[in-house]
Structure 1
Amino acid sequence: MTLLYAVTAVLTVAVAADLLVSGAVLRRLRDLEARLDRDAAPVGLPLGAPLPAAALRHHPDLATTPLLLGFFSTTCRYCPDQAALLAERAAAYTGAGIRVVSVVVTAPGDDTTALTRVLGAAGPVIVETGPGELMTAFSTFGTPTFLHFDAAGTLTARGVTVDDVPLPVRS
């Protein structure tokens, strides 16, 4: 019986030590995560940024604002659904005076037919081998990505779904 008490005491001490070490590790991980979040550089164009001049040199038609610019890829599993949603809402955006332009990023040999057909219902489609000039100019690192520029050419909204760029409220 004494042996059972001794083993129980040793196990109790081991479990208590494990809990203390686990708590300390979790606390350190949370601190590290908070520091990384605080020090991380923003991804993509920051809100308030102007339309990139580099993009306008080769695509001056993008200077027409307000503008909703959508980036899609032939290899993105979320892009077909977001393309269909954009095409469905395109009339509402254009009715609010927002020009909709889509950029399809492709690899050589990829078939863009299905994606460009759907997006063509929303507005002009630019196809580029990517990551291409426009993805670079707009600091876009993934697809789908949506950027909304207001009448002054200032980035007012960005996101990874059409829902991240709400329609402006008409007064």
Structure 2
Amino acid sequence: MTAAEGAAEDEVRPTRRKIRPDSVWAEVRKAWESGETARSVARRYDVGVPALWKRREAEGWTRPEPQSGPVEPVEGWDSFAERKRERFLNDLESVRELALDLMRILKGGPIGDAPLWHLGFIYSERARLLGAEVAVADREKARGYAWGEVLWDAEGRLKPQWELDILILQLHARTWREEVGLPDGVAERWP
């Protein structure tokens, strides 16, 4: 061993343990349990991270389950709320217009300008509310369209509502894809 190595060995001293009072450890625990990271707590209170982990284990420190609150939208809450309100009011107006159209049609008015996606429902409800005579007349008028025969079975009965919805969706797949924003060449098996 050289003299330099011996001198360096003499200078290596064991690390002194940091002894902190219980009041400091109470603050450390409070900070860690409230969600602060172990490293930042250890630095702030001048305690070692391994000592913090040992205390945590020995004393059974726990953190409450993380609760993810709502994430603020990019545009901020006020702009988000304004946009949502506008959409709500527009949707409300559209639903009211649809309700008025449906009431008029279900009272015996012409089906010609009926909303496409509600056509099966309209035929079903007109048959139920207005009787067989109107149902027969509706079927005769529908024969003038390419899809007219598809909605009724061989005996002239209107198909079940769920089947009508699917048939109309399939018959007007391109229109549906445009309305929901599906470009050509993607998700081609839908609807």
Give the TM-score normalised by the residue count of structure 2: 0.27
Question: Going by fraction, where is strand more abundant, 1 or 2?
Answer: 1
Give the TM-score normalised by the residue count of structure 1: 0.29
Tell which has more relative contact order, 1 or 2 (C-alpha 8 A, sep 6+): 1
